A and B are shown apart, each in its own frame.
Chain A
Amino acid sequence: MELIVALGLIVFKVAFLIAILLLLPLPLTWLERKIAGHIQQRMGPMRVGWHGLLQPMADGIKLLTKEDHIPAEADRFLFKLAPILALAPPFVVFVAIPFGESVSVLGHEITLYVSNMNVALLFVFAVIGIEVYGVIFGGWAANSKYAVLGSLRTCAQMISYEIPMGFAVIGVVMLAQSMSLLDIVRAQADVWNIVYQPVGFFVFFVAGLAEAQRIPFDLSEAEGDLGAGFHTEYSGIRFAFFMVSEYAIVLLVSVLVVILFFGGWNGVLIPLPPLLWFVLKVAFFVYVFIWFRFTFPRYRYDQLMAIGWKVLLPLSMANIIITGVLLGAVGAP
């Protein structure tokens, strides 16, 4: 009986998570277009619903009813596989992510995470690495020069940026003495990691921008020079998969930034419910992503590589060494 309840709870949590992740891109696209519009002194969508609120619905219906076109020379199997490969990892990753300690519903303590892995951080990085296959397969299978160029760029970009990203969190792991995200957040109850790890945060955030393939590092889908990059040839629901995946990754990077460097659900000054604190912080970073997108121009390809290898990598390494030396000399804060 105990087992069935526990299993049922896990299934419920997973279903809830998937529903949220599938639905969240709708308000996010609306928000992105609105923010873009207002930054450029336009209004954004105005005609469907109040201030265009139903626009994402209209877009969704449009994408669902569009022809699902597969280019004649495409590798059909890989072409169909790629969107799923791109979509699944960001969803899987959220299994390891805690959203809070626990809430009590009807006298039961329900934890706000699906699983508390002791190597959650490692799991996150391992699984999110798979996402790049979706992009590479998608570009390769389409048999189009723009798509191949886009996925080649992605390939190099992902390799260059996953390394500093991984190094940047080592300082956090050293401070918390644990790879469990739950422990990392608990370790920040008094002082957030951003105080001890500003360089780590900087490297992680920049690498996260590159990982999410957002401006200024969106070379894989650079609209200006590559059509739409790796998903040039995709249409209809498969294109929507890539879009949902992109927003899920934006969300994931924001959540990771909050958990690793901004104290997770630990609040400051204002006593709000922990979950609300968490959501507010994540929302802020999602906004920063969108804000960056409409402020900065895209980096050139060689600049992208130079930033990755010549700036972020040495910075993250120096961060590890300095953190280690300080921990040894001064002791844990």
Chain B
Amino acid sequence: MSRAQDKVGTWIGWAFFADLANGLALTFGYMFSKPVTMQYPDKEKWLPYSRYRGHHFLKRDEEGEIKCVACELCARICPCDCIEVVPYEDEKGNRHPAKFEIDTARCLFCGLCEDACPADAIALGQQYEFSSFSSADLVIGRDDLLAKPGKAATGGGVVAARLNTEQGVLVKSSEQQGYNWWRNIRRT
């Protein structure tokens, strides 16, 4: 088609509001498409990938003993100075923390404590729902840290959620490949 004809076609289109009609048709089509909304926290929630840096947790070894040797390297490297470790020696002569407190109100979740630990005792897990009304509640002690959920085996899925977040985090994915954010978006 020559350029002049092209122009005439455009003008005819404009005269009959072809461009406006196109827009209306597009929005009308979208009105019946599936929403991409994730209804958090009412219905569903997204699970972060295993590399996600969420709430800290302390690990145990095979005998169920706490892995931490209370070397305080994590407390040293922490840029926010939010870890406090007080060591003690048990009857077998092993060092362990008597007190291990992380002030998550100050923590910036950099993950340096995890990198620095020589005993592979501390790591940042998957939990991200631990907001609180008081900053005092955000200082987490040793026993709580031991009970925290660990790293996710899989991530990126969507699971059922409810407003009550004290149930802990469900590490279970309905979509093994991760959530496809684009699945309902039309790209032309």
Q: Which residues of A contact B (CB under 8 A)?
A: 35, 37-43, 46-47, 291-292, 294-296
Given contact pairs A295-B23, A295-B24, A42 touches B30 in the complex (Cβ within 8 A): no
Contact assessment for A35 and B37 in the assembled complex, using a CB-CB cutoff below 8 Å: no
Question: Does any Cβ of A come within 8 Å of B147's Cβ?
Answer: no
Q: Which residues of B contact A41 (CB under 8 A)?
A: 30, 33-37, 184-185
Name the CB-closest residue of A to B24: A295
Contact of B28 among A42, A46, A47, A291 (CB under 8 A): A291
CA distance A296 to B30 in the complex (A): 14
Question: Does any Cβ of A come within 8 Å of B31's Cβ?
Answer: yes
Min CB distance B113 to A, Å, is 38
CA distance A39 to B23 in the complex (A): 12
Min CB distance B103 to A, Å, is 34
Name the CB-closest residue of B to A288: B24
Contact assessment for B35 and A39 in the assembled complex, using a CB-CB cutoff below 8 Å: no
Contact assessment for A43 and B39 in the assembled complex, using a CB-CB cutoff below 8 Å: yes
Q: Which residues of B contact A (CB under 8 A)?
A: 20, 23-24, 26-28, 30-37, 39, 42, 184-185
Name the CB-closest residue of B to A293: B27
Given contact pairs A291-B24, A295-B27, A296-B23, A42 touches B42 in the complex (Cβ within 8 A): no
Contacts A38-B35, A39-B30, A41-B36 known; list 16 others, CB within 8 Å.
A35-B31, A38-B32, A38-B33, A39-B31, A41-B34, A41-B184, A41-B185, A42-B35, A42-B36, A43-B39, A46-B39, A46-B42, A294-B27, A295-B26, A295-B27, A296-B23
Contact assessment for B31 and A38 in the assembled complex, using a CB-CB cutoff below 8 Å: yes
CA distance A292 to B26 in the complex (A): 12
Complex A-B, nearest 6 residue pairs according to Cβ-Cβ distance, in ascending order:
A295-B27, A43-B37, A38-B31, A43-B35, A295-B23, A39-B27
Min CB distance A218 to B, Å, is 17
Contact assessment for A47 and B35 in the assembled complex, using a CB-CB cutoff below 8 Å: no
Min CB distance A151 to B, Å, is 29
Given contact pairs A43-B35, A46-B39, A295-B23, A38 touches B30 in the complex (Cβ within 8 A): yes
5 A-B contacts, Cβ less than 8 Å apart? A38-B33, A42-B35, A42-B36, A291-B24, A295-B24
Name the CB-closest residue of A to B39: A46
Q: Which residues of B contact A292 (CB under 8 A)?
A: 24
CA distance A39 to B36 in the complex (A): 11
Name the CB-closest residue of B to A216: B20
Name the CB-closest residue of A to B17: A202
Q: Which residues of A contact B34 (CB under 8 A)?
A: 41
Q: Which residues of B contact A291 (CB under 8 A)?
A: 24, 27-28
CA distance A107 to B162 in the complex (A): 57
Min CB distance B167 to A, Å, is 20
Q: Which residues of B contact A37 (CB under 8 A)?
A: 35
Q: Which residues of A contact B185 (CB under 8 A)?
A: 41
Q: Which residues of A contact B28 (CB under 8 A)?
A: 291
Q: Which residues of A contact B20 (CB under 8 A)?
A: 296
Min CB distance A116 to B, Å, is 37
Q: Which residues of B contact A42 (CB under 8 A)?
A: 35-37
Name the CB-closest residue of B to A38: B31
Q: Which residues of B contact A294 (CB under 8 A)?
A: 27
Min CB distance B160 to A, Å, is 16
CA distance A43 to B35 in the complex (A): 6
Q: Which residues of A contact B27 (CB under 8 A)?
A: 39, 291, 294-295
CA distance A294 to B32 in the complex (A): 14
Min CB distance B18 to A, Å, is 14
CA distance A40 to B35 in the complex (A): 8
Min CB distance A39 to B, Å, is 5
CA distance A38 to B31 in the complex (A): 5
CA distance A295 to B24 in the complex (A): 6
CA distance A35 to B32 in the complex (A): 10
Name the CB-closest residue of A to B43: A46
Name the CB-closest residue of A to B29: A39
CA distance A23 to B131 in the complex (A): 40
Most buried by B among A35, A41, A46, A294: A41
Most buried by A among B27, B30, B42, B184: B27
Name the CB-closest residue of A to B32: A38
Contact assessment for B33 and A47 in the assembled complex, using a CB-CB cutoff below 8 Å: no
Q: Which residues of A contact B35 (CB under 8 A)?
A: 37-38, 41-43
Min CB distance A30 to B, Å, is 15
CA distance A35 to B24 in the complex (A): 13
